[in-house]
Chain A
């Protein structure tokens, strides 16, 4: 490798993706990729994001599917994008994880070259550009739909952005979910969301949303009590990104499950005996 120096007229600036293209790196994507929708490719499924009083919460189940088979049980779909933001993925697992990796480097690269971080809006736009670049592959069936959320240091609030395959991105007011179980997760959050949730309440709602999604959608994994694999849950507030410990997530799931069980048995007792 040589020292990457450029003339001032063709300097890529703080753009890592442009730097990789200029130096003939591994980012070159072929438009003639042979992937067809018929080929079984690992797909990552449900991820959710919601706003709470101090920031945002993001969570994702751990299952990746290949057609009707389970490809991975412990896949990670929620990542720190940088210190103040998180990104979650749904869609074709391979390109999605690669997109996250590029996005993470892009944000850090900008910060180091320029000496300051991008604004949250700027980060969201960067991710949109990456999704747009990916469009030709999405047309061939390798759809990647990320979810981006972070803490806006200028405005001191948590913000959530959703994306479509064309790179269109939209800011969400309160919550959003994407992936195959997204619809069920969204419904749960819609019913449970209130303004100014505490971290505790927010985590409970996110976990319940994933539970309901796994309950209705075969592509979404629930808590795996046998292997001890639980969804990844993270919060971003004014102190930055922090992942919630597995033990805590496990406890919350246990509480949720026992509550559900009680509700069911209660229902049976109440409505069991006809007139």
Chain B
């Protein structure tokens, strides 16, 4: 028997469903610093990454359901490598990739039964004609671009408030790491390197700017 559900209701239910899914996972923050971009996520796993390399100057961050954002990560690597091989490495940019993610997520949100329970970050290290850029794509395809910092995940509002209190342009890596980690943890708990995953897109790193910060390095950066 056919029945009618108001479109508002359908969208509201889907949004609620996606938000709930995302809120179950831990958050991720990204910021600019002196030599590039820093991404830090709360992630106790050493092998199931939230932060990954997409291309020479582009990094990926995902929160929510691992299998869903990892599929998008691989699609991003494929898109970037195909584009770079067909045209040139310089022609690969984060904006077109973020737009593809936005279209895909928007499409799934309106047409499929179940929306994807993910939020995506596409970070691009600036070069001669492009500034450093952080694209934040939400589960329903909303895309926002930030040039200071971005927060992804269920707890985004409170974390955003904490980051904006302390954020500074051009800070050093150790300061940025400390502030980002305390923004993630809040005042009532502390996070050790074992609970964290972090990576940078650094200008001093050659063609492939992406570099993971391992436990040892994180420990050193978080010390004192």
Contacts and interface: CB of A to CB of B under 8 A. Distances in A.
A112 B77 contact: yes
Contact of A2 (B49, B85, B86, B100): B100
A25 B49 contact: no
A271 interface: no
Given A105-B84, A108-B81, A113 B74 contact: yes
B82 interface: yes
A1 B49 contact: no
B85 A3 contact: no
Interface residues of A, number: 19
B77 A115 contact: no
A3, A20, A26 — which one has the most chain B CB atoms within 10 A of its CB? A3
Given A112-B53, A113-B74, A115-B49, A4 B101 contact: no
A5 interface: yes
B83 interface: yes
Given A3-B104, A112-B53, A20 B85 contact: yes
A16 interface: yes
Interface residues of B, number: 24
Interface in B60-79: 71-72, 74-75, 77-79
B127 interface: no
A113 B100 contact: no
Given A5-B75, A108-B81, A112-B77, A25 B86 contact: yes
B54 interface: yes
Interface in B83-99: 83-86, 96
A105 B85 contact: yes
B85 A102 contact: yes
B52 interface: yes
Nearest to B96: A1
A4 B85 contact: no
Interface in A9-26: 16, 19-20, 23, 25-26
B9 interface: no
B52, B71, B78, B208 — which one has the most chain A CB atoms within 10 A of its CB? B78
A194 interface: no
Nearest to B104: A3
A112 B77 CA distance: 7
Interface in A111-154: 112-113, 115
B75 A109 contact: no
Given A109-B77, A113-B77, A115-B47, A1 B82 contact: yes
A4 B84 CA distance: 14
Nearest to A82: B208
Interface of A: 1-5, 16, 19-20, 23, 25-26, 101-102, 105, 108-109, 112-113, 115
12 contacts: A2-B100, A4-B78, A5-B104, A23-B82, A25-B85, A105-B81, A108-B81, A109-B81, A112-B52, A113-B74, A115-B47, A115-B52
Interface of B: 47, 49, 52-54, 71-72, 74-75, 77-79, 81-86, 96, 100-101, 103-104, 208
